[in-house]
Structure 1
Amino acid sequence: MKRSFFSSTNIILGLAFLLGTLQGFAQEVKWLTWDEAANLSATAENPKKVFIDVYTDWCGWCKKMDKDTFQNPEVAAYMSENYYMVKLDGEGKEPIVYKGKTYKFVPSGRKGYHEFAATLMQGRLSYPTTIFLDEELNMLSPVPGYQKPKPFLNIARYFGDDIYLEKDWNTYAGKPGK
């Protein structure tokens, strides 16, 4: 009896190899809640900075950034290594405690907003907005708007590698001074 290359065993082994190879390229970001990240930051031997993605369910650019930027293997690997990553619904209903103050949902118009999101975004409710905090949960900077992978990684490295302590953004980004 002649054996075909396309036997069920070969197909299964081939698919397993292919899935294993593709998995090596995909980097999954582990998103945390605010409480999880705050607890890790407070209790970790070597705490990381905290990154917050402020989004809403209805925001198309938020979904695009999730797909294009946060699932980019280079971005995902860098962020996972250097930050505790938090997803924060800008219209979430759960109270959040930050630096001893409790922030709550505020009904407004058809939906409303979360006070913590508004505080982090410095009153500018624009989605998506990404927030960078240091290891002690102090604000480094909000960054409003959709960011493609390469520019986003540039910003993330500026804070994640502590470049912000030595250079202002314009010098780092190669932009002429103002």
Structure 2
Amino acid sequence: MKTNISSTIKSITLFAFLFLAFQINAQEVKWLSWNEAAELAATDKNPKKVFIDVYTDWCGWCKKMDKDTFQNPEVAAYMSENFYMVKLDGEGKEPIEFKGKTYKFVPSGRKGYHELAAALMQGRLSYPTTIFLDQEFNMLSPVPGYQKPEPFLNIARYFGDDIYKEKDWKTYSGAR
């Protein structure tokens, strides 16, 4: 009986240690709303670029990218350091004010879409789509589709480290 209790305690202790070790290594991404990112960009002395994850609640690939890519410690650390990270529901119902225009939800088909999401995705409603903007919220590039951590990090560094100012994507990506 003592052996079973001792073995159980050891197992619980090992589980707790592994759980805590994982939690310490996991990087938590602080997702912002569009308005929060706009406010930070306007008030920070050294504003960051803006990254937008356009998703929908029903999108399985969006959920997979959240789990596999955005929770990757290296991706999360790089993105948090270099970008304001925004989650934008492509079918969100709340109006968003931006650059003197109000973007709204548009009922269409079975659900509909948000005008800002459609504008950022340049009319291609494909989920997930990630959007990279500069510090003034000017478009750098939309990137449609699920991205694994390593390819995603290459794309993020291209914009985050200003490589796009010196090299075109084909030259940069071919050199890797």
TM-score (normalised: structure 2): 0.90
How does the TM-score come out when normalised to structure 1?
A: 0.89
- Which residue of structure 1 aligns with residue 71 of structure 2? 71
Equivalent residue, structure 2, for 1:89: 89
Residue matched to 1:30: 30
Cα distance in 1, alignment partners of residues 81 and 35 from structure 2: 19
1:148 is matched with: 148
Gaps of 5+ in 2: none
2:125 partner SS: coil
- Label 1:94 to 1:12 Cα distance change in 2 as closer, same or farther (>3 A): same
Cα shift at 1:6: 3.9
- Secondary structure class of the residue paired with 1:31: coil
Q: What secondary structure, in the 3-state scheme, does the structure 2 residue paired with 1:32 have?
A: coil
Change (3 A) 1:7 1:146: closer
**Structure 2 counterparts to residues 1-178 of structure 1, below 5 A:** 6=6, 17-174=17-174
Matched residue SS, 2:156: helix
Distance, in Å, in 2 between the alignment partners of 1:63 and 1:9 is 35
Compare the two structures and name the one with the higher helix fraction: 2
CA offsets 1:52-86 (integer angstroms, 9 cap, x no match): 00001111111111111111111111111111101
Alignment coverage as a number of residue pairs: 174
Identity of aligned residues (%): 81
Ranges in structure 1 where 5+ consecutive residues have no aligned partner:
none
